[in-house]
Structure 1
């Protein structure tokens, strides 16, 4: 018997994951080359909720509607961050599993567990001396600049942004260089999805070594403060707090430095040459957080049961990924005004919002200002169309940022 049209459910019951057509491959080189075109096409075809693949055969729903994203991010009861049910069906060799798998830390937990981990991290980060951190960034930046300032050319990723963010983070965590090098190698494999399982194992081993060291020799650093916190984190929990701190502290900060420099070197409001710019580093940084955030698609949750969002049923226990880039550029909220506008989602919102925002702002802005003070006639070394973007479902990251500048004598190191 046919159901009368007047009594039929007006809501579509198919989910973006179960689409009849192909899902959008967020891991493809085509997507990496021009994600903003892809977001526009997604919005035109699907609206706020888009069927995507994070990796071959790994479906997810990508949220590109700002208001839908804010609703989801502020509703951890219906959209918990715990992936354990989902990952039971994911092969262990899946290249993105280390980025998404359950870990006993705030990023991948819900409820009381999340509260316990979050409080420990927030307290430990909150004790960072920002004045001392400013001096640390300067002490690390100047030798890096001196290593290439007489050459007249450099790659600002491999020669500046990566080693700087890595060294600053090691200093904040009290991590010796030899352990830190293992951490960096493992973390790079995880972000790139190349030998990610081996990278994950290397990362875990290195962080266990750091935790063991700090239990024996505590210092004035985040790792020692986490160990001393009333949450009484055990070794396994400590390792996974540090995974999150390294994951958030290297790749996103490196990308934010580089993407902001790219804007400043290619937009006459900031540059032409950097000397002629009329807007500040902070203005450029805030604009990039809107238009090209360093983590473009992340903040993953897994609904506990089928749930209705924007007239679409999302399936239970399947990844819902927030596109910070897509949402920030949603025409419903983006009026093209970025100066002093902090309504973007680059730091996330809700209970999983970044607890180290002020620290990240300081590191990135100081890194950029140190470079531009030393080399004010910095210029992009290629035309923008020749820059290559690294493929991957989560980050917005250049392969390299080649620059040129007049050869300069080394800076004084105080």
Structure 2
């Protein structure tokens, strides 16, 4: 709430999962201000020496060591007005600079450690396979092991490509879609990789490093990476909600474009400081466009490129139909599963586009083969996502969840 003299705000409440909350002198806290009958979402920069600030408890994660975190109590903590960035009245989003900083920070705090975990898993997988044999045959001679190693290598290549794409010659508010999609793309892929690595290493995959060392095995702390990778899917918001939010941003841009067209404005009008785009799949489309129609791709990747372009056109048609069918955006935004599927589809299309663009640019045989492996798997995932999005009927999940809750209460 604002102070009586209007020079600042008083914050009261509880805040959990605050990075560096127990050690920082200055903290950024997200909160909603109520002023003149309006609600404004914003970020407040707190001086932790204020008497209204208290660390209620220090949090310990299931992994993620070296990340101080705390639950806080704020009791009338005063924040000067000049230390506050607020969004527009009654709009449920942060001011554009704050949202852009949050998207960029996710690359460093979530995507970067996820990529490091994936690279470590790839290195450990190769070293494990190189020193093991089964029934007199080197482990690396087996089909399933070869598929595991190839898939992990391709996914590390894709993760690295996505992060590079998000950082290329871009300003703070550029490439918003790619940055919104990157966190989930990289952390979910890291989870697949570390889960696959635990399976590959078998008896060395779940035992602690100390236990391995005691019995003379190579003390690889795979179980630690397992916990860390899982935590990254939650850090910075839960994975399925990020998919919903990404789709909502894309659809918001389409609603804005439709409204501008109805009002006679020029095509391509956007609103919200980068929160909308004229094309529902502009981020992924930019990646496909980068390869060009005559891109230097092997035949398999040319087929992947054609499929990606077809997927983008399909995404555009589906988005247009949804927006036309739901004149009230909130009606569409309430369909979380629809938005989750759209978010995943857009992200997969972007990853395919970026990987093909890199393969075409670098042109090496290894990059081409890695791109082929990644795009093949991504197209299988996309087929399942499209099938679920277009399913005419599905179970009554709301009813089943109520019955289940009643059964255990």
Q: Under a length normalisation based on structure 2, what TM-score does the superposition of the two structures give?
A: 0.29
- Structure (1 or 2) with the greater strand fraction: 2
Q: Under a length normalisation based on structure 1, what TM-score does the superposition of the two structures give?
A: 0.29
- Structure (1 or 2) with the greater helix fraction: 2
**Bigger radius of gyration:** 2
The higher relative CO (CA closer than 8 Å, separation ≥ 6) is in: 1
